[in-house]
Amino acid sequence: MAIYTCTMNLAIDLVIETQEMLASKVNRTSSSDIQANGKGVNVSFILKQLGIDSTAIGFSGGFTGRYIKEVLDEKGISHRFVEVDGLTRVNVFTKVVNLQQEFKLVNQGPIVSQEAQEELLKQIEQMLAGDYLIVSGSLPQGVGSQVLIRIAQICSERKIRLILDSSDPIVRECLPYAPYLLKPNDEELAAWYQLESMDKDQAIQYAQKLVEGGARHVLMSLGEKGAVFIDSDLQVYECNAPKGEVVNTACSGDTLLATFLAGLLKEKPIPKCLVTSVAAGSSTAFRTGLTDFSDVKELEQQIKIKKQEV
């Protein structure tokens, strides 16, 4: 059994903090951090910390793409990216202290050719039954949403356990191919069903619809409200999130997913998987980079979990 993380739109994240943000002025930063990123790459980073190997795949371009591969090499994570023209994107996340607000500037990324897309699909076709494939994040320019359906079809035919973490509404069209796990947040779920917003109870009901439609499991992030897991029997597990000062929310969902998957692979009970993954995701939100798990046990103490019977 092998684990693959697929990031089609890799990124370098520049995370900065400034006391204030004034128009037409030079705004000095008080801190900055450069991070190799991309949602699937983050999953690989967290899995590695938890003792689980994975291979990162997707599209990489230029010197920014090379930087991400160098960081993966340093951490002992294998990768097989398809090389494309152009540069892997750089995103900027800015926390403005006096406003207590975070601004996210996310670039589009390189244009990916049809030939490069077919090469990636061939990689997936070579995976074996029982392997895990985590497809995370946005699609780059040139890649249409239909690629997610093609990936779902391949995984269904080859009995690959597909995990989808994508905001694209086309995820619902992947349900007939029985993806192993979906990881929407409540805002994404509302958008999939053409709703302005939804409360927690509504979110749970619509997440259950995803399972009824074919998904085997759903792990739903509720941000500061916690998270919900729904299994193939429609049983619902929900928990709150711990309190802390939020520094950067960009990677907390990736941490949640990777930690939860690690718990499943280690055959831990669902309640333990959910509590630890929410604590880990919160730990990431409370710092500039990914969690190092040093405070996760302490954060777990704030979390209460309950199971809803069907």
How many H-runs (helices) and E-runs (strands) does the chain carry? 9, 14
Q: Is 254 a catalytic residue?
A: yes
CA distances from 97 to 29, 31, 125, 245, 249 (A): 10, 11, 48, 12, 15
Give the Cα separation of 147 and 117 in Å (integer): 8
DSSP line for 62-81: HHHHHHHHHHHHHTT-EEEE
Closest CA to 271 of 306, 240, 298, 295: 306
Give the Cα separation of 49 and 242 in Å (integer): 22
Give the Cα separation of 238 and 240 in Å (integer): 7
Closest CA to 159 of 136, 175, 180, 174: 180
Eight-class DSSP state of 265: H
Give the Cα separation of 202 and 183 in Å (integer): 16
Burial label, 2 (beta-carbon count in 10 A; 0-12, 13-18, 19+):
middle
Residue 141 parent element (H or E):
none
Q: Which of 73, 233, 254, 295 does the annotation list as catalytic?
A: 254
CA distances from 305 to 71, 75, 213, 227, 272 (A): 36, 33, 26, 10, 9
Side-chain-side CA neighbours of 185 within 13 Å: the count stands at 18
3-state secondary structure 84-113: CCCCCEEEEEEEECCCCEEEEECCCCCECC
Just list the catalytic residues: 254
